[in-house]
Every structure is written in structure tokens, then in C-alpha cells.
């Protein structure tokens, strides 16, 4: 039997995914076409999901006082450079999350085998955290997305995860679901869907399938 689980923070709406936190806030932020800021966008979506930041606040960062935690967050983003053209690594992401440690927000960096990373992302969803996953494309470029749920196959009490459901800042806002991208990771029998250096399969709204590799994850949670 197929089984799907989504983040208990989120709900669908005609305008896009909403978080139950702070009375209902839009979550998805669309990344600009010329930047490499998928990491900061994903962090902000996670912070909105957890109720630490409001959607309107995120879209008007210039209003933040420079000495506030939000102002420090803005300064950290600016320090990454114009358009974040070089992209961000996990250390950059952890520094961004650290700006909100004073309100109980923390992050755990996860790396290792695909099986280990996917399992910890699954556990993170179950624990009401907001995981962000890093993938590597053919050619070596990378991308960050927030994971909002997972799908898998359950048989006689055993569950095998098969897909990660993602909210991608690089794609348009979903109107009829909580996700706008999917990463296929395992078959129902637990075997990998592909072999070689890119053993997972990604697709978005256009349905185009592309091989990728899950490299790491950042599990963002609020105490």
C-alpha cells in the first residue's frame, strides 16, 4: 500500500502552501532567474514554516533594524555577495540559521550515504522539523530545496520510502499541492532507482526527469 506523509506545519491554499504558524502565512518564495540563492531562499521558507519569520517580513527585509536578529540575518545574506552568484554551502546555511538561535531555532547538518540522509529527512518531517536537502546535478552544479513530505510503500508494518516531496524555490508556486518537485530515491523493494554517481531522479512541473545525487541535508527545528 502506498502511503504519503506531509509536514504537519503546512496546508494547501489557492495562493500556495500555507503554514499553520502565526495564523497562516504563505511559504513559497520564488528564486530570481539570475542568482544562486536557492540556499537562503530555502532557509527563509523553513523559518516561515516554523513561524519564526513572516512572509511579509521576508519580502521586505530592508525594513529590519540592523541590530535585530533579522537585521543580522540580512547582513549574513549580503555578505554572501551580489546575487549569491557562487551559491551557498552548508556552512553558509548554518550561519544563517544561527541568527535565530536566540528564539530556539537550531540546525543539524547531515551527510553520508543516501539511505542515511533520506532516513534522517524522513524522521525530521515526522518530528515537525523543516529539512532542507542538497542535490547535485549532472555537470557538478548543486541546488537546495525544502522537503515538505515523503511517499513510500508499506507492507505488513514495514515502510520503504520511495519519494521526497520538495518545495523548490527555483520553480513556480504550487497551487494544488504542497510541493512543486519530487526526488525519486528508492524502489518499493529498497533498491536504488538508479546506479552510478547520480542514483536519484528529480522532476518538477514540466515532468522532465533528470538524474541527481542527494549530497547532504540541513534539519532545521524549533525548540
The reported pTM is: 0.93
pLDDT tens, residue by residue, 83-129:
555 678 899 999 999 999 999 999 999 999 999 999 999 999 999 99
Q: For residue 28, give the C-alpha cell.
A: 513559497
Q: At residue 82, does pLDDT exceed 70?
A: no
User: Which is more confident, 157 or 120?
Assistant: 120
CATH level 2 (architecture), domain 2-222: Alpha-Beta Complex (3.90)
- Cα–Cα distance measured from residue 79 to residue 101, given in angstroms and rounded to the nearest whole number: 19
Q: Which residues of 3-15 are buried (b: 16+ CB within 10 A; e: fewer)?
A: eebbbebbeeeee
Q: Which stretches within the chain are classed as H helix?
A: 38-49, 55-58, 69-79, 90-98, 114-126
- Cα–Cα distance measured from residue 72 to residue 83, given in angstroms and rounded to the nearest whole number: 18
Q: Across all residues in the chain, what is the average pLDDT?
A: 91
pLDDT of residue 217: 98
pLDDT tens, residue by residue, 161-220:
999 999 999 999 999 999 999 999 999 999 999 999 999 999 998 889 999 999 999 999
Please report which confidence band the pLDDT of residue 157 belongs to, taking 50, 70 and 90 as the band edges.
Answer: confident
* Cβ–Cβ under 8 Å, residues 208 and 181: no
Q: What angle do CA 130, 95, 202 make, to 5 degrees?
A: 45
pLDDT tens, residue by residue, 20-32:
998 899 999 998 7
Q: Which long-range contacts (CB under 8 A, 24 or more apart) does 50-59 make?
A: 50/9, 50/19, 50/21, 50/105, 50/130, 50/220, 50/221, 50/222, 51/19, 51/21, 51/22, 51/25, 51/222, 52/100, 52/103, 52/105, 52/222, 54/22, 54/25, 55/25, 55/26, 55/27, 58/29, 59/29
Amino acid at each position: 500500500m502506498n502511503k504519503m506523509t506531509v509536514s504537519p506545519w503546512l496546508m494547501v491554499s489557492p495562493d500556495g502552501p500555507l503554514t499553520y504558524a502565526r495564523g497562516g502565512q504563505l511559504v513559497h518564495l520564488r528564486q530570481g532567474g539570475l542568482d544562486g540563492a536557492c540556499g537562503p531562499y530555502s532557509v527563509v521558507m523553513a523559518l516561515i514554516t516554523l513561524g519564526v519569520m513572516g512572509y511579509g517580513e521576508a519580502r521586505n527585509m530592508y525594513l529590519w533594524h540592523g541590530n535585530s536578529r533579522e537585521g543580522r540575518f540580512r547582513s549574513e545574506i549580503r555578505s554572501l555577495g551580489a546575487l549569491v552568484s557562487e551559491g551557498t554551502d552548508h556552512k553558509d546555511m548554518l550561519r544563517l540559521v544561527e541568527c535565530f538561535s536566540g528564539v530556539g531555532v537550531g540546525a543539524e547538518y547531515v551527510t553520508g550515504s543516501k539511505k542515511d540522509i533520506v532516513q534522517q529527512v524522513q524522521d525530521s518531517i515526522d518530528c515537525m522539523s523543516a529539512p532542507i536537502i542538497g542535490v547535485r546535478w549532472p555537470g557538478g552544479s548543486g541546488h537546495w530545496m525544502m522537503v515538505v513530505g515523503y511517499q513510500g510503500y508499506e507492507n505488513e508494518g514495514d515502510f520503504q520510502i520511495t519519494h521526497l516531496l520538495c518545495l523548490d524555490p527555483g520553480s513556480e508556486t504550487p497551487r494544488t499541492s504542497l510541493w512543486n518537485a519530487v526526488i525519486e530515491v528508492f524502489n518499493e523493494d529498497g533498491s536504488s532507482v538508479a546506479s552510478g554517481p547520480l542514483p536519484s531522479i528529480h522532476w518538477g512541473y514540466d515532468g522532465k526527469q533528470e538524474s541527481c545525487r542527494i549530497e547532504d541535508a540541513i534539519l532545521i527545528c524549533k525548540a
